[in-house]
Structure 1
C-alpha cells in the first residue's frame, strides 16, 4: 500500500475539537493521504497493514473506508476489500464540469449577500495565497503544501457568503477530488494561475458576477489542461 509515514496525533486547540473521535482524525488523515497522492490511485488498502499504520481497529477502519467510498475516493470490492479510486481523464473532466457549475452558482449568491466581514476574509485569504505563489514562482517548491491549503481557503472565502451549507460541503468535496489530480501532476501551474487569483480577488470586491464566473470557467479548464499535459493521467 506504500505507506510512507506514521499518522501524527492531533492535539485539540479548542473546545470544539475535544469532542472529535479517533475515527474522525483517521478519516481525515486517510482522506488527505488519498488527495495528496500518498495513497496512489488503484492502490490496494490492506486492512491489517492500514490498522497498524493508522492505529485504529479493523471495524472502525471499514466504516471509514465506506465513508470515503461515498465520496468516490475509495472503491469497495466486496469480500476483496478496498482500493483507492483510479484516476482517469473522464473523471477529471466530470469533476471540472461539476466544480464549475457549483462554484459559479455559489459566486452569484455570495456576491449578493457578502458583508464587510466577507470582504475581509477574501482579503486575508488572497494575501496568504499570493505570498505562497510568489515563493513558488521564485522556485521555492517547499511552499507547495501551503499553496494547496491557501488555494482552497481563497476559493472558499469567495463563496463563503452563499448561505448554503449543503452547497459549500458539496463544493468542498468536489474541489478536493479535483485537487487530487493536480497533486498527481506534481507541478505548479505557474504565473497564469496566480494572475487568475488576483483577477478573481479584484472582481469579488467589485461584486462583478459575470466577469468572475468567466474567470472561474477559464481557471478550471486551464487546470484540466495542465493535468493532462503532465502525461500522468490516461
Structure 2
C-alpha cells in the first residue's frame, strides 16, 4: 500500500470519548488520502500496515473502512480485506449528474433565503479561491491543495443558506467524490474554471438563480470533459 502523508497522532486517553475522537480523525485522514489520490484507485489496504500508518487498532480501522465503503470510496472484499475503489468513466458521469441535480436545487433554496451574512461568506470564500487560482495560473502547482479546499468552500458558501443539513451533507459527499477525479487527472483546468467562478460569484450576489444554474451545469460538464481528456480515467 502506498504510504500516505504523515498526520498528527493524538494522545491516547482511556475513555470511549477519546477513542471516538481518534476514529473521527483517522476517518477524515483516510478519506482525504483517497480523494487526494495519495491512496490510488485499486490500492489494497493491508490492515496491519494501515494500523501502523494511522496509529489505530485494527478493529477501529475495519469500522472506518466500512464507513468509507458506504460512500463507495472503498470496496470491502469479504475475507480478503479492503481496496480503494476503482475510478471509471461511468461513475464520473453519474457523480456529475448527481452533483448537478443537488447543487442546482440547493442554489434555488439558498438564493431565496440568503442574508447579508450569507453574501459575506460568498465574498470571503471567492477572495481566497481567486488568490489560489492566480497562483496556479502563474505556474505555482504547490497551491493545488489550497485550491481544492477553497473550491469547495466557495461552492459551499453559495448553497449554505439552503436550510437543509441533509442536502448539504449529501452534496459534500458527492462533491468530494467528484473532486477525486480531478485530483487523479493531475492538472488544473486553467482560465476557463477561473472565469466560471468569477461569473458564478457575480450571479450569486445578484441572486440570479437561472443564470447560476446554467453556469453550474456548464462548469460540471467541462470538468468531466477535462478529466476524460487527461487520459487517466478508463
Normalising to structure 2: TM-score of the pair?
A: 0.95
SS in 1 for 2:75: strand
SS in 2 for 1:2: coil
| CA distance, structure 1, for counterparts of residue 233 and residue 8 of structure 2 | 30
Alignment correspondent of 2:50 = 50
Alignment correspondent of 1:177 = 177
- CA RMSD, aligned part only? 1.3
| CA distance, structure 2, for counterparts of residue 5 and residue 197 of structure 1 | 30
Listed one character per residue, the Cα deviations across residues 22-81 of structure 1 (whole Å, up to 9, x for unaligned) are: 000000000000000000001100000000110000000000000000000000011110
Alignment correspondent of 1:66 = 66
SS in 2 for 1:75: strand
SS in 2 for 1:39: coil
SS in 2 for 1:7: coil
| CA distance, structure 1, for counterparts of residue 5 and residue 98 of structure 2 | 33
How do 1:204-219 and structure 2 match up within 5 A? 204-219=204-219
Unaligned segments of structure 2, at least 5 residues: 12-17
SS in 1 for 2:86: coil
| CA distance, structure 1, for counterparts of residue 98 and residue 19 of structure 2 | 33
Are 2:158 and 1:146 equivalent residues in the alignment?
no
Normalising to structure 1: TM-score of the pair?
A: 0.95
The total of aligned residue pairs comes to: 228
Deviation at 1:9, TM superposition (A): 3.2
Deviation at 1:122, TM superposition (A): 0.1
Unaligned segments of structure 1, at least 5 residues: 12-17
| CA distance, structure 1, for counterparts of residue 130 and residue 10 of structure 2 | 28
Aligned partners of 2:92 and 2:181 also within 8 Å: yes
SS in 2 for 1:21: helix
Which ranges of 4 or more aligned residues in structure 1 deviate by more than 4 Å? none
Q: 1:137 to 1:163 in 2, by over 3 A?
A: same
| CA distance, structure 1, for counterparts of residue 6 and residue 118 of structure 2 | 38
| CA distance, structure 2, for counterparts of residue 108 and residue 159 of structure 1 | 8
